[in-house]
Amino acid sequence: MLSFPAAIRVYLCTVACDMRRSFDGLSMMAEHILGCDPFSGHLLVFCNKRSDRLKILYWDRDGWAIWYKRLEAGTFQFPFAETGRKEIAAWELGLLLEGIDVNQAKRRKRYARPASGVRGEEENGRELDRAS
């Protein structure tokens, strides 16, 4: 099992990919299809049409790195679409690699902190209203 830092972002390419592509071809797909900076250090995940092969591309300080997995049996539960990308959490990538269908899994309710940017603006606005 792979472990990832909490701050890492994971982008899935929802368009089936030709697994013959390597560093340059996948980074070009990241720019044009995913619309993100391939040099960001985030994980860029690509899957083939049969869903039995998966590549993860990322920029590692001084060069490209690819992690490649080929299933001998079974498929990945990959969310294909006509175009675009999907952002998932690092733990969801772990489940995807282990063959667990995230859509069928049920997550129990947990506390989630509100987004800091939105809440801070609301609190600042309330303080201004009270002061006037």
The domain ranges of the chain are 10-131
What's the rounded Cα separation, in Å, for the pair 54 and 74? 13
Confidence bin at 73 (pLDDT 50/70/90): very high
What is the Cα–Cα distance from 85 to 11, expressed in whole angstroms? 6
**For residue 122, what pLDDT is reported?**
45
More confident site: 97 or 118: 97
Mean pLDDT to the nearest integer, 111-117: 78
| Averaged pLDDT, 8-13 | 91
- Distance between CA 69 and CA 99 in Å, rounded? 12
The answer to whether residue 54 scores a pLDDT higher than 80 is yes
pLDDT of 87-110, one tens digit each?
A: 888 888 888 888 887 777 777 788
Q: 54: closest CA among 36, 76, 33?
A: 76
The pLDDT, as a whole number, for residue 53 is 94
